[in-house]
Amino acid sequence: MILVTAVVKPFKLEEVKAALQEAGVAGMTVSEAQGFGRQGGHTEVYRGAEYRIDFVPKVRVEVVVDDAAAERVVSAIVTAARTGRIGDGKVWTTQVDDLIRIRTGERGPDALR
Amino acid sequence: MHYNSGDTAWVLVSAALVLFMTPGLAVFYAGMVRRKNVLGMLIQNFAVMAVVSLLWVWVAYSLAFGPDAGGVGLIGTLHFAGLAHMGQQVPGYHGAKAQTIPPVVFVAFQMMFAVITAALLTGSVADRLKFGAFLAFVVAWTLLVYAPVAHWVFSPEGWLAQRGTEDFAGGTVVELNAGMAGAALALVAGRRRGWPNSLMRPHSIPLTVLGGGILWFGWFGFNAGSALNAGGAGTAFINTNTATAAALLSWLVVEKVKTGKPTTLGAVSGAIAGAVGITPACGFVNTEGATVIGILAGVASALAVNLKFRLGLDDSLDVLAVHGVAGLVGTLLVGFFGTASSLGANGLFYGGGASLLAHQAMAVASVGAYSFLVTWGIAAAIRATVGLRVSREQETAGLDISLFEESAYDFESATGQRAFGAIGGGAR
């Protein structure tokens, strides 16, 4: 199994969610995140004082999928989240050793379905 | 004694309007601090309402408006302490200036000025004072700074009033006084930890907008109430609004030119600067004067907010720049725009020569210097005895939790944990 983690622009969340459902993903975890990459932050001005805001708001999407589905899921996210402008975010994959559905105790790929 | 019921009603209403300015100021300031210090700001302002109210009726009113001690115009006696002798007229109000309201109504009206002037200082030293030390400071400051200065300028027996200084509603007594005292207090207390390099942006501009709106509303009582009669209040009322409007716009123009964008905080700040600027002048000038004073007060304050970074002085919410500078500008401009067709003497632009301007400059210099020096002394004495500041840990955690064990906001996340605010970073 593979954990796919994506950090995307907040306004792209709905499209990413739809693309993942389209790709057959049964569930996902979404959290608000802040950070910076090449885009850097932005500045805000209060009474003439400029503040550099380093961390920009992002959304982190996490899904665990079968090995076979990983490539399809990754490209679904990339396609849905892309604007072509700086700050679109990143997607990465991680090997998952085990997975348990808490309600039933099912383990491994069975717990994904 | 026959009192005018219309005048009495207006001054009573004005007193209530001015009292309401202090909670307005509290939210105006609270919006500008970080989320962890919101209650620390609100409780300081609310507590000032209580402390100064009691101090005023028992002692401070008499020091400010009691019969002059020694006839030199420096301080009043304790003749009216505890509101004794309220059947006697307020000293100095004779002839054309004779009051048509009961003295106790005047006590109530002036009380609210003492309250908000002390409350203004909370903005200079936001986020870092011990609560008890702050209250002790307020007591000493009201007795040693506010009451004497009010006597000099507001009491007709005060030395500046005697010499011809004109201050309709407190450009020197309230605004310049608060600005200079705030600067001195901030100097003694020291900077907030991390200032100016760490992020200390306002946590809620909407709260500041609401507070600014309450202040604008209350200012009609502050300024037009200072006429002390209903029939003569109209000029001060309309001038207050005119200058406030002009300064709101002029601050935005300065921002547009300097940084490319007008801001919401700038609009509110400009309005306050305009109301401050017209405070000493509102009954003494005409529409031209009110408009120009508003424009110049807005520009001067908008330019002055950067001064603290050059001075390295953490006047956290710009009391010196907004109240001190606009109060100074307005007080001096009375010397140019004062016109006998409204009230008072003619200024430089209305054929009165430079003498009014000289009286205004004398008031600015003496009130500014006295306020700064005596405040510095009081603050230094408190710092040396009980200490002024909270500990490093308390300041980092925020006053709300560390001093009061409360939080301003309880936005729970799905996990039942308090949601964390934006993670700060970066330098100015």
Identify which of B259, B261, B427 has the shortest CB distance to residue A52.
B427
Cβ contact B305–A41 (<8 Å): no
Residue B103 CA to residue B83 CA, distance in Å, equals: 10
With contacts defined as CB-CB under 8 Å, which chain A residues touch B255? 45, 48
Mean pLDDT of A7-14: 95
Q: Which residues of B231-247 are buried (b: 16+ CB within 10 A; e: fewer)?
A: ebbebbbbbbbbbbbbb
Residue B201 CA to residue A46 CA, distance in Å, equals: 7
The identity of residue B367, as a single letter, is V
Ordered DSSP codes for A32-52: EEEE-STT--EEEEETTEEEE
With contacts defined as CB-CB under 8 Å, which chain B residues touch A53? 199, 422, 425-426
Contacts by B403-410, CB closer than 8 A, 24 or more apart: B403/B40, B403/B130, B403/B131, B404/B39, B404/B40, B404/B43, B406/B39, B407/B39, B408/B30, B408/B35, B408/B38, B408/B39, B408/B42, B409/B35, B409/B38
Identify which of B258, B306, B425 has the shortest CB distance to residue A54.
B425
Residue B33: C-alpha distances to residues A67, B192, B204 (Å): 50, 12, 8
ipTM value for the complex:
0.79
Identify which of B305, B422, B427 has the shortest CB distance to residue A48.
B305
Helix (H, G, I), strand (E, B) or coil at B197: coil
Looking at the complex, report in whole angstroms how far the Cα of residue A30 sits from the nearest Cα belonging to chain B: 12
Read off the pLDDT of residues A53-97 as tens digits, 9 standing for 90 and up: 888 899 999 999 999 999 999 999 999 999 999 999 999 999 999
Structure tokens at B279: 């405070």
Q: Any chain A CB within 8 A of the CB of B304?
A: no
Read off the pLDDT of residues B180-233 as tens digits, 9 standing for 90 and up: 999 999 999 999 999 998 879 999 999 999 999 999 999 999 999 999 999 999
With contacts defined as CB-CB under 8 Å, which chain B residues touch A55? 422-423, 425
pLDDT attached to residue B96: 85
Looking at the complex, report in whole angstroms how far the Cα of residue A68 sits from the nearest Cα belonging to chain B: 33
Identify which of B266, B302, B426 has the shortest CB distance to residue A51.
B426
For tokens 């031209």, the residue is B288
Closest CA to B322 of B19, B29, B33, B91: B29
Return the biggest CA–CA distance within chain A.
59
With contacts defined as CB-CB under 8 Å, which chain B residues touch A52? 425-428
pLDDT attached to residue B171: 98
Q: Which residue of A has its CA nearest to B303?
A: A48
Ordered DSSP codes for B199-216: ----S-HHHHHHHHHHHH
**CA B42 to chain CA centroid, nearest Å:** 16
Structure tokens at A30: 């979404």
Cβ contact A50–B428 (<8 Å): yes
B21 within 8 A of B219, measured Cβ to Cβ: yes
**Tens-digit pLDDT string for chain B (428 aa):** 689 999 999 999 999 999 999 999 999 999 999 999 999 999 999 999 999 999 999 999 999 999 999 999 999 999 999 999 999 999 999 988 899 999 999 999 999 999 999 999 999 999 999 999 999 999 999 999 999 999 999 999 999 999 999 999 999 999 999 999 999 999 999 999 999 988 799 999 999 999 999 999 999 999 999 999 999 999 999 999 999 999 999 999 999 999 999 999 999 999 999 999 999 999 999 999 999 999 999 999 999 999 999 999 999 999 999 999 999 999 999 999 999 998 999 999 999 999 999 999 999 999 999 999 999 999 999 999 999 999 999 999 999 999 999 999 987 655 555 444 434 433 33
pLDDT attached to residue A113: 80
Q: Any chain A CB within 8 A of the CB of B428?
A: yes
Read off the pLDDT of residues B296-350 as tens digits, 9 standing for 90 and up: 999 999 999 999 999 999 999 999 999 999 999 999 999 999 999 989 999 999 9
Quick one: what percent of chain B has pLDDT higher than 90? Answer: 93
Of chain A residues 4-63, which have a CB less than 8 A from chain B?
34, 41, 44-55
Residue B79 CA to residue B400 CA, distance in Å, equals: 41
Q: Any chain A CB within 8 A of the CB of B318?
A: yes
